[in-house]
Amino acid sequence: MKGHFKQKLLIAAALTPTVLVAVYFIWGFGAATAYLSFTDSGFLPSKKLIGLFHYQKLFSSARWWNTYGNMFIYGGVYLLGCLSIGIVIAAMLDRLPKSAIIYRTIYLYPLALSLVITGLAWQWVLSPTTGLQHLIRELGFESFSFNILGSSEYAIYALGGAAIWHSTGLVIVLFLSGMKGIDVDLWRSAQIDRIPTWRVYASIVLPQLRSTLMTAIVLLAFNVVRSFDIVVALTKGGPGHASELPALYAYEFYFVRGNIGQGSAAAVVMVVSIMAIVLPYLIYELRKRKQ
Amino acid sequence: MKTIKRYFATAGIAAMFLSGSLYAETDVSHNWNAEGEAAALAVFKATYESLGGTWKESAFPSTEDSQASAKTRFLGGDPPMVVQGVLGGSTADFANAGMSADLSAYAAAGNWDELYPAGLAASGKHNGTWVSVPVFVDTVNWLFTNKSVLDAAGINEPNSWRDFIFSLQALKQHGVIPLAIGGEDWQETVAFDHILLAAGGADFYERVMSGDLDAIGSGTMVDAFTKFSFIREFTDEGKAGRSWNDTNNLVVSGKAAYIFMGPWATGGYGEMEEGKDWSCRLTPWSEAVAALADGFHFLKSDNAGDQEAQRLFAAALTDPDTQIEAAAAKGTLPAVKGADPAKFSGCATKAVSRMNSGKTVTHWNARSSGLKSALKDTVTAFWNGDMSAAEGRDALLAAVKSN
């Protein structure tokens, strides 16, 4: 009993610094940002409270609504894309013999690149004057047209696509390790029953990987919130502000327009919105696991 | 005991460093990194050092970065002595935030009110008090032309909006990009300057930029947006997200004929000859010079050493000979009165003569941050969207009202 207590104390002592740092730098700064969003902070932060002024401004701005909507388009495309492609590739890799480890490296490689490099590389590929369109026209198809970056409607999907290319590797690794942990006997009995492989994955393997799915969703969701560098590198939020995401919006109001209150309000709405989606899911999953 | 001693020793060293940083010579926060800009800064540096100052600088890639750093350092109690930037709207930003030093004493000693033309003196003052020092006048509404491209298409340089449109059509037929434009809101808004001048002239421009709601809501503004949407088809499809220097390079390399850009675009032409290979002209269809003052914001400091450094730096900046030499190095105009036009070459000479004969208006980049934001947001939304001209006018009116 005493040993148990000691062990607990040791764990608590070891974790305390991390907890303190996390509380201060994440929740403390988060709370400070939330506070600033209710103040008249402009060029410099101020402590004078002015209520919901910045939120009213934000919600009456057409630019913000477009940016806010973009977060859901981008986030939806990114999450669905990463998860579906990632899970399929993970299952395929899972079926390969151990010697085929090279494929794992290939699929994981983009994850090692920074998002700025990812954005820049895709910018080169997608730009109509240097990339794909140029190449195909050089091959003789003069009327070929592909200018997703110049399209107000579709530029946001280009961002989603580039981000999927970057992060799918993460999903692959998570699910691959999960699949490797599946009981071999399950596979044997499925083989005896002659269940097709895809069916085994869909009905037996994946349902056992719920917690892996949860991890993946949480990690990806936070990538959505902090998406900044890829936007700057790939589209600069353009054309116009058509592919702008909230983090870029907040940055511009903080550092270019000297409107700290407005930037803070945008940051708060951005984080709260993502939490409103992710938290209920997390609570649901965790409760389910306890039962 | 030993540990305690060591602790005190460490604390002592740390304290030395801390106090060292408090009394160190203070620095200049700037983003003048291009060749001409760096040359201009070196001229100020030389005078400052000859007066007894010790030069220290913090260079940043952009005004935003320089300002962000200065703000953070100000809050931390260790501000740079000055921040370089466009004066006007941002002078008020710094002063309203309580960050500005009061330069009245230096201004009186140096007789700055006599030194500067009234309009430029105003850009360095907040509520009548000197807080920033203007050093250059940048003229922004330039039309750069690659003359070889025009020659190849058999076109003369246009002198009216009508001719300009005809030349765009001819150039398009000829198979080059008629008008180069990049994909950032400020580049689009710099182009919009010329459109406003085409639609309403210098007086209209001035009224719009001072936030005159009658002018912004007028039919002339609808005409401006109509003209703006018309030139869209003469730009290339690679413009999305393109930086200004890549865009400028299209003109330099002969892939495009025209670009609307500020005087910094001249740097791209290198050895090519102005007047023969390429040309810089202030908006040919107007008499307007859209100008802004570039200079230094002086930040408040309680430190006597910093204040002395500021006094010396202000003296260096306002020394007419230094300012004129620096302006020549940067290829722009000095803010002080009485510069000899013969000292300047190329584009700067044209700016001087236009200022003498034409009408000088204050560029949007020197306006209040509210107007600047409203204008840039609307222009970029209109340019990249599918608003009608009337909707563009209404959007601008709404944005100016709400900012």
Whether the CB-CB separation of B131 and B91 falls below 8 Å is answered with: yes
How many angstroms from the chain centroid is the CA of residue B379? 18
Of residues B73 and A103, the one with the higher pLDDT is: B73
CA–CA distance, B248 with B251 (Å, rounded to integer): 5
As a whole number of Å, the end-to-end CA separation of chain A is 27
Instruction: List chain A residues with CB under 8 Å of B228.
Output: none
Residues of B in contact with A43 (CB under 8 A): 71, 93-94, 96-97, 99
Q: Which residues of B touch A147 (CB under 8 A)?
A: 237, 240
DSSP element (H, E) containing B291: strand B288-298
pLDDT at B23: 41
Mean pLDDT score of chain A: 88
Q: Residue B329: its pLDDT value, please?
A: 86
Residue A3 has pLDDT above 70, yes or no: no
Residue type, B339: A
Instruction: Give the list of residues 6+ apart from residue A238 with CB closer than 8 angstroms, or none.
Output: A155, A244, B183, B184, B240, B241, B380, B384
Angle between helices A260-290 and A210-225 (to 10 degrees): 180
Q: Which residues of B touch A150 (CB under 8 A)?
A: 237-240
pLDDT band at A291 (very low <50, low <70, confident <90, very high): low
A63, A129, A149 member nearest B377 (Cβ): A63
Contact A238 B241 (CB under 8 A): yes
Mind listing the pLDDT tens digit for each residue in A124-160?
899 888 888 888 888 888 788 888 888 888 999 999 9
Instruction: State residue B258's pLDDT score.
Output: 96
Chain A CA closest to residue B62: A256
Alpha-carbon distance A139 to A134, whole Å?
A: 9
CB < 8 Å to A127, chain B: 238, 240
Rounded CA-CA distance B340/A18 in Å is 65
Strands (E), B102-176: 125-126, 129-130, 132-139, 142-146
Q: By a Cβ cutoff of 8 Å, what residues of chain A touch chain B?
A: 42-45, 57, 60-63, 123, 127-130, 147, 149-150, 152, 155, 234-236, 238-242, 254-259
Query: What was the pLDDT predicted at B25?
Result: 65
Residue B222, sorted as left (phi over 0), alpha (psi -120 to 50) or beta, turns out to be alpha
- Counting residues of chain A whose pLDDT is more than 90, the rounded percentage is 35
- Of residues A222, A271, A221, A219, the one with CA closest to residue A246: A271
What are A131's two structure tokens? 């990339």
Give the chain B residue whose CA is nearest to the CA of A149: B240
Is a pLDDT exceeding 90 seen at residue A190? no
CB contact under 8 A, A43 and B96: yes
Q: How far is CA B96 from the centre of its chain?
A: 21
CA A275 vs. chain centroid, Å, equals: 13
pLDDT at A188 over 50: yes
When CB atoms are compared, the residue of A130, A150, A254 closest to B240 is A150
Q: Do B68 and A152 touch (CB under 8 A)?
A: no
Between residues B210 and A97, which one has the greater pLDDT? B210
In three-state secondary structure terms, B57 is strand
Sites in chain B below the pLDDT cut of 70: 1-25
- Among candidates A45, A57, A240 on the partner chain, residue whose Cβ is nearest the Cβ of B383: A240
Residue A242 pLDDT > 60: yes
* Cβ burial, residue A11 (10 Å; 0-12/13-18/19+): exposed
Find, in chain A, the residue whose alpha carbon is nearest to that of B369.
A257
Answer whether A63 sits within 8 Å of B64, measured CB to CB.
Answer: no
State the nearest Cα–Cα gap between B143 and chain A, in angstroms: 23
Vertex B62 angle, CA B57 and B67, to 5°: 70
For chain B, domains (ranges, CATH) are 25-138+291-354 (3.40.190.10), 142-290+360-402 (3.40.190.10)
Omega of the bond leading into A239 within 30 degrees of 0 (cis): yes
How confident is the model over A60-79, as pLDDT tens digits?
888 899 999 999 999 999 99
Query: Is pLDDT above 90 for A83?
Result: yes
Chain A residue numbers with beta carbons less than 8 Å from the beta carbon of B75 are 44-45
CB contact under 8 A, A127 and B93: no
Q: A55-290 has which fold? A: MetI-like fold (1.10.3720)
> Mind listing the pLDDT tens digit for each residue in A107-123?
888 888 888 898 889 98
